[in-house]
């Protein structure tokens, strides 16, 4: 069967499963809608958390970034993995003991202020919409290639599926759907990796193949990849170009941003007890590690296969996968010297992005043509988001494996998108309407408002997916920076610093969020031509600026708290209580 037929079958089965789970687990109360009734088992919650965590950025884009950036791409692995450990060990149990549905709910009650709650709602919406843009973009990329529809239509299809099970089932439906999505995405990620590892290194374990020698050779895979990169004018794969300070700030932003992500934090409210929150965090870390330790291997395999397949080869002899991806607009070739040979070297192939032109056909189908960049000899444009998805095709794996990776990519993107949409919905219906605007609203009215808010959020998220502000992992990195600069300090100090008051929390969130947004917008959208290391503040890139925003947040919070009244005694007592194990008391001498 063809790739497209296999894709329809596998995607159809998985979508039917997701919809069936949503119907089975329809939320009937606000507690079920927001936190799945609080009765999810630690194992199921661990799988759901892993699926929620491993978004399109993890599944589709992280290995793509590492594939092109090599050593520099390791910041994503270190930051995201370390951040989850930070969240699971330092924050999750205490937030679970506090017992609120959402992060803005925690902020509002801990800082005894509706103003603080409103600022937290704004932060949650900023972070969630920025993050969900990357997920919807990932959905569009997968649909564009495997179902051969435009990226825009792919985003709309994804919107419809997420709308159905997120709006109908709420957190209850999302949780059990994410359990299924975890199984799908991990199977889809590991099967091609194992195939290719055996093919290239003779070792069925990708992590060992990544550090081993090529099959039938004494040459190490990474040594060969270093040589291929340098021959084409790229930096050696195992060498980094980022400054030490930028690597530190990006890694830190991803770490503390992880610990401040509201859609991950809310998962720890779905289990019955604080102990279960800790256990589910441990399960999730194991499940996440399965993908994160495999991603560097996939990146190296894909990069090696890509270079050996296309560099200095005649276009007319290219395998069918090249034409397949050209049709999506995510890969393109411009024959600058009219020799029919693909010159893949360091530099930009085209100005902007290739455009699909009807009627331009070659041996393998329609070509992608665009304005070439005269300053570079490179003729090949590759969107790094395609590397994981194209990897099985590049390695000439069976069609069912190629289709499987598409189903996995959709599972990863949809699982996180659903979690984010629920955060947006809860921020509007629970934190804004119920807690501030309409405190007397009935539970039924709040549930209706939550579903309407989710529907509106799906629509806005789809627009972000159709008109994304960058490639998937880059967009997600900005979301982490915003979370680091806004939520993390007020959550940590809310748990561990009794003197932290509402004035300090508000000042800190506003300062951190405003600084980070202005910095990112300036370098990415207002003056992108200035987005170079020599123009960055202290040499810190927009991807890492969230760490500096966090520092400013902490400084503003502490300073303002020091010059304003201390929190009420009952609030300080609550802070003291959530840090103590249940039933703990002072030791006495009998």
pLDDT tens-place string over residues 299-325: 999 899 888 888 888 888 888 888 778
Query: How many Å apart are CA 495 and CA 489, to the nearest integer?
Result: 10
Question: Would you state the pLDDT for residue 345?
Answer: 86
Domains, in order of start, for the chain? 3-302+398-578 (1.20.1730.10), 313-394 (no CATH)
Question: Would you state the pLDDT for residue 240?
Answer: 78
Residue 584, pLDDT > 50, answer no
Give the mean pLDDT of 10-16: 82
Question: Would you state the pLDDT for residue 575?
Answer: 81
Residue 590, pLDDT > 50, answer no
Residue 489, pLDDT > 60, answer yes
| pLDDT band at residue 254 using 50, 70 and 90 as cut-offs | confident
Question: Would you state the pLDDT for residue 552?
Answer: 94
Give the mean pLDDT of 143-171: 74
Kind of pairing between the strands at 380-382 and 331-333: antiparallel
Query: How many Å apart are CA 512 and CA 485, to the nearest integer?
Result: 5
Give the mean pLDDT of 357-378: 64
In the chain, what is the greatest distance between 2 CA atoms, to the nearest angstrom? 93
| pLDDT band at residue 581 using 50, 70 and 90 as cut-offs | low
CA nearest neighbour of 464 among 56, 172, 33, 35: 56
> Could you identify the residue written with the tokens 């947004």?
517
In degrees and rounded to multiples of 5, residue 355 shows phi and psi of -115, 140
Question: Would you state the pLDDT for residue 179?
Answer: 84
CA nearest neighbour of 301 among 175, 209, 414, 227: 209
| pLDDT band at residue 185 using 50, 70 and 90 as cut-offs | confident
Question: Would you state the pLDDT for residue 585?
Answer: 40
Residue 589, pLDDT > 60, answer no
- 373 versus 355: which is more confidently predicted? 373
Query: How many Å apart are CA 432 and CA 434, to the nearest integer?
Result: 6
- 324 versus 568: which is more confidently predicted? 568
Percent of the chain with pLDDT over 90: 6
Query: How many Å apart are CA 483 and CA 504, to the nearest integer?
Result: 17
Residue 112, pLDDT > 90, answer no
Percent of the chain with pLDDT over 70: 88
Please calculate the CA angle 585-588-590 and round it to the nearest 5 degrees.
140
| pLDDT band at residue 79 using 50, 70 and 90 as cut-offs | confident
**Range with top average pLDDT, 86-95, 128-137, 478-487, 541-550:** 541-550
Question: Token pair of 291, please?
Answer: 């993908």
Mean pLDDT of the chain: 80
Please calculate the CA angle 442-447-452 and round it to the nearest 5 degrees.
125
Residue 502 φ/ψ region, left for φ over 0, alpha for ψ in the -120 to 50 degree band, beta for the rest: alpha
Between 80-84, 360-364, 523-527, the lowest mean confidence (pLDDT) is in 360-364
Question: Would you state the pLDDT for residue 511?
Answer: 92
In degrees and rounded to multiples of 5, residue 27 shows phi and psi of -75, 130
| Cβ atoms of 345 and 232 closer than 8 Å | yes
């Amino acid at each position: 069967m063809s790739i497209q037929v296999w894709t329809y079958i596998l995607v159809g089965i998985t979508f039917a499963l997701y919809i069936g789970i949503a119907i089975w687990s329809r939320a009937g109360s606000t507690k079920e809608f927001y936190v799945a009734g609080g009765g999810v088992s630690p194992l199921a919650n661990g799988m759901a958390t892993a699926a929620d965590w491993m978004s399109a950025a993890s599944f589709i884009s992280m290995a793509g970034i590492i594939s092109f950036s090599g050593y520099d791409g390791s910041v994503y692995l270190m930051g995201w993995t370390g951040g989850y450990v930070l969240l699971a060990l330092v924050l999750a149990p205490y937030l679970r003991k506090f017992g609120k549905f959402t992060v803005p709910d925690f902020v509002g009650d801990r800082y005894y202020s509706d103003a603080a709650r409103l600022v937290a709602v704004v932060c949650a919406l900023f972070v969630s919409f920025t993050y969900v843009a990357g997920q919807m973009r990932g959905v569009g990329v997968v649909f564009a290639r495997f179902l051969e529809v435009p990226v825009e239509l792919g985003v709309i299809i994804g919107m419809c599926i997420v709308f159905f099970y997120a709006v109908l089932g709420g957190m209850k439906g999302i949780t059990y759907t994410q359990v299924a999505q975890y199984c799908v995405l991990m199977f889809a990620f590991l099967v091609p990796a194992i195939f290719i590892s055996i093919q290239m290194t003779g070792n069925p374990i990708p992590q060992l193949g990544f550090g081993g020698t090529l099959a039938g050779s004494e040459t190490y895979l990474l040594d060969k990849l270093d040589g291929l990169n340098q021959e084409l004018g790229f930096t050696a794969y195992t060498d980094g170009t980022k400054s030490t300070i930028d690597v530190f700030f990006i890694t830190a932003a991803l770490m503390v941003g992880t610990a401040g992500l509201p859609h991950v934090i809310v998962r720890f409210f779905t289990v019955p007890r604080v102990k279960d929150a800790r256990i589910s965090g441990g399960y999730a870390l194991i499940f996440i590690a399965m993908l994160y330790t495999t991603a560097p291997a996939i990146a190296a395999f894909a990069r090696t296969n890509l270079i050996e397949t296309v560099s200095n080869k005649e276009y007319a002899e290219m395998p069918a996968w090249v034409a397949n991806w050209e049709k999506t607009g995510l890969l393109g070739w411009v024959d600058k010297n009219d020799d029919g040979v693909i010159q893949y070297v360091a530099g930009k192939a085209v100005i902007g992005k290739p455009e699909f032109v009807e009627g331009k056909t070659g041996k393998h189908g329609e070509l992608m043509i665009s304005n070439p960049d005269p300053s570079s000899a490179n003729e090949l444009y590759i969107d790094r988001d395609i590397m994981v998805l194209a990897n099985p095709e590049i390695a000439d794996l069976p069609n069912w494996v190629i289709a499987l990776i598409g189903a996995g990519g959709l599972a990863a993107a949809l699982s996180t998108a659903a979690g984010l949409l629920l955060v947006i919905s809860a921020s509007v219906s629970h934190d804004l309407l119920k807690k501030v605007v309409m405190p007397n609203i009935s539970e039924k009215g709040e549930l209706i408002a939550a579903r309407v808010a989710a529907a509106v959020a799906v629509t806005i998220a789809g627009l972000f997916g159709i008109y994304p502000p960058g490639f998937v992992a880059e967009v997600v990195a900005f979301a982490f920076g915003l979370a680091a600069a806004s939520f993390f300090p007020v959550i940590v100090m809310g748990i561990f610093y009794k003197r932290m008051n509402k004035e300090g929390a508000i000042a800190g969130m506003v300062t951190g969020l405003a600084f980070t947004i202005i910095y990112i917008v300036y370098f990415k959208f207002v003056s992108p031509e200035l987005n170079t290391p020599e123009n960055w503040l202290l040499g810190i890139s927009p991807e890492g600026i969230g760490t500096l925003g966090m520092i400013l947040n902490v400084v503003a919070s502490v300073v303002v708290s020091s010059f304003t009244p201390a929190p009420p005694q009952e609030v300080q007592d609550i802070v003291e209580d959530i840090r103590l194990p249940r039933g703990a008391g002072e030791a006495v001498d009998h």
